[in-house]
Copies of this chain bind each other. A is one copy, B any other.
């Protein structure tokens, strides 16, 4: 959060600089849990290297909601803001380098910076974008078949398909691994690439 804002709103950078030293740097292997479903989010997560996924567990099988990569920040917003148990788990998919900023510093920073004229407009932008993201995802779920969603992923976010193991992709698309395999082989037949 704080971190990409720094690029977008350089005039507020003195605030960011003041708090960056409070971050904790971590090098972790793949499959490390950064936030566990049911616990309260205590820090904001920033990814320097590697990637993570956010998912929730439903009767033993994972449902992946989102992937995050280098230079992205995340947390469970409702848990972080309201001190409620998180409904999602966040785990690394590759060996990663991440930074954690404890919640109390985030709050302090928010309080300080909220007096800045640009800040609230910025927050609105963030929220509007986030809403767009969720609503377009929702619309895609309602409107498109899994095959279309997979093709969208291929054209619009190919780095995900290249980098993420396929069964996580299936979980993200909302289909079984078997069915994603079928989709792929069907597409391969229709469009030979030689």
- In this assembly, does A5 line the interface, its C-beta being within 8 Å of a C-beta of chain B? no
Interface of A is mostly: helix
State the copy count for this chain.
2
- In this assembly, does A74 line the interface, its C-beta being within 8 Å of a C-beta of chain B? no
- In this assembly, does A162 line the interface, its C-beta being within 8 Å of a C-beta of chain B? no
In the bound complex, do residue B131 and residue A63 qualify as a contact, i.e. CB atoms below 8 Å apart?
A: no
Choose one: B58, B77, B124, B143; the contact of A58 (CB below 8 Å). Answer: B143
CA distance A124 to B77 in the complex (A): 13
Choose one: B123, B139, B142; the contact of A124 (CB below 8 Å). Answer: B123
CA distance A130 to B132 in the complex (A): 11
In the bound complex, do residue B81 and residue A139 qualify as a contact, i.e. CB atoms below 8 Å apart?
A: no
A52-93 contacts to B, CB under 8 A, are: 56, 58, 63, 65, 77-78, 81, 87
Contact residues in B for A120 (Cβ distance below 8 Å): 120, 123-124
Contact code string A38-56 (vs B, CB < 8 Å = 1, else 0): 0000000000000000001
Chain A residues with a Cβ under 8 A of chain B: 56, 58, 63, 65, 77-78, 81, 87, 120, 123-124, 127-128, 130-132, 134-135, 137-139, 141-143, 174
